[in-house]
Amino acid sequence: YRPARERPGFAERRAAAGQRRVAAIAVVSASLHLDFSLPLFTDPLVPTMVITGPAAPRHGLDAARAAGAEVITVGEGAEVDPARVKAELVERGHTRLLTEGGPRLLGAFAEAGALDELCLTTAPRYVVGTAGRVMSGPGLEVPRELALTSLLEESGFLFGRYQRV
């Protein structure tokens, strides 16, 4: 990942919508085993946010701050509380959020009820292996319903957008 760039057409539209001219990026990590020398941390137009638990490793917290990142702690222990992430970001003026992550992070957000929509890409190919599901976690007692709000196709790839009902 790289820091968001300011693009004139988008910056003007974002400003007209009451948003900052450049999107901020937040990285969620319990371990803080991140390369803080990357431009994402050292050269953003707006500081990259690092979201972690209050008991995150001290060396990681120090490295994040030294690189210029804004450190946000939510949760207990080293783990991040997904239910509180959205509120923390909204409190800082970030009201449109896009979360990308692996199955564990996505599963944690879904389990906490913090997943409002899901964008899912389906490729026109398959492989066989031991990969897990799109989301991984302890499971939900009752499946959460989503409604398909858009479906695009390009070169056989399907891009689906689903919103929570």
Tens digits of per-residue pLDDT, 63-119?
A: 999 999 999 999 888 789 998 998 999 999 888 888 888 898 999 999 998 889 999
10 Å CB burial of residue 54 (0-12, 13-18, 19+) is: middle
End of a domain among 53, 77, 98? 98
End of a domain among 76, 98, 120? 98
End of a domain among 65, 83, 98? 98
Residue 2 to residue 59: CA distance in whole angstroms: 23
28 in helix, strand or coil?
A: strand
Average pLDDT (140-145) is: 91
Q: Which CA distances in Å does 19 have to 9, 60, 96, 144?
A: 14, 30, 9, 30
Give percent above pLDDT 90 in the chain.
64
Residue 93 pLDDT: 87
Task: Find the length of the chain.
Answer: 165
Q: Which domain holds residue 15?
A: 1-98
40 in helix, strand or coil?
A: helix
pLDDT at 60 over 80: yes
Residue 87 to residue 43: CA distance in whole angstroms: 26
Q: How many separate domains does the chain show?
A: 2
pLDDT confidence bin for 125, thresholds 50/70/90: very high
